[in-house]
A = this chain, B = another copy of it.
């Protein structure tokens, strides 16, 4: 180890990875720590959950991305705590010293105090989440095919998606596609098109952060795919075979064996650890409130970026937890570090909003580019173009493009494999697999 400054980055998502690559020419030693060996293109995770892409299509080994970056090493390890006085990151079996620390540990899904819902209503954050959702959805159709009781068949063929944000909308749209098109002719006893996909949103429209006209277009696209959109519907309970919702004064029960969660996130537990160690403040979602330069109060050597940071300084409210914010904050911190090496300071972090996009089913999307709003096929083509542009670090970009083209024209979802532990739907097994 030379006398160079040691920059330790925790998390290889969009924020951490862009911080690392932006330091490639800096006179520092970079250590990127992640407990997974790959970077995941999370915006496409719902396509794995719905059998259109394989995990490897949207993941790239971190070591591979960074292999030519000589000043950087990758550590596959779990961070458990911080010793901010000694300037050390504490792993399960080792301590890693730093001069500058960048925490980019992200968020996980949250059940608003109802953690028992997690087993019955899986969220979508990891590759394992995606293959688990894929397994449950496919097994539900299989169980329906083998069932004779019409009530049971109906429960197996009802899919409830909780949360009308981008994840929920994309999941529901893809489920509509699967039921109405992908599985056509696949079964002999049931008609997959008779499946009901119900999207529950607590506010008065889907995609709340989007302009109202795009929310309306998204809802319309979902309806065309056979998705029932229920707004102003608050989930009050989730059990293995039903969801209870409150809609105004009314309480209602929806019978369903498959419930998917896209409703909320909270900061990684590492955020709380770091807040405790540094005295920094957490918001209600467990995100760390950062200074205008993304460092922590009294700890200019510690930065928090990506979804885990609450950047209230710019707009008075937190920035959205999207890839663009993470990437821009990662690049900004890399520039701050390099400026400091030269004794310079930079103006505060300023997020440049390039717009938001969500896709609905096979060939529709909504895109909010500030004054310009797009929807339908045009929105989808823009979505496709931009996603291909940003998947640029992936050597497999061309392959993903070809796979998409293929999927588009053939309605292919060949990746609908049921893998893992519970690969068989026996009707009696219902309780044990779903709880």
Contact = CB atoms under 8 A, between A and B. Distances in A.
A79 B369 CA distance: 55
Nearest to A188: B73
Contact of A61 (B63, B94, B186, B395): B186
Given A73-B188, A398-B406, A412-B395, A93 B428 contact: yes
A92 interface: yes
**Identical chains in the assembly:** 2
A8 to B, nearest CB: 14
A424 B138 contact: no
A425 B418 CA distance: 27
A416 interface: yes
Given A127-B417, A417-B59, A417-B61, A410 B424 contact: no
Interface residues on A, range: 35 or more
Nearest to A403: B399
A415 interface: yes
Contact of A38 (B128, B399, B417): B417
B420 A77 contact: no
A386 interface: no
Interface in A39-80: 54-57, 59-61, 63-64, 67-68, 73, 75-78
A75 B142 CA distance: 8
Contacts of A60: 414
Nearest to A69: B185
Contact of A67 (B186, B395, B415): B186
B142 A37 contact: yes
A65 to B, nearest CB: 10
A415 B94 CA distance: 29
Contacts of A424: 35, 76-78, 92
Contacts of A406: 396, 398-399
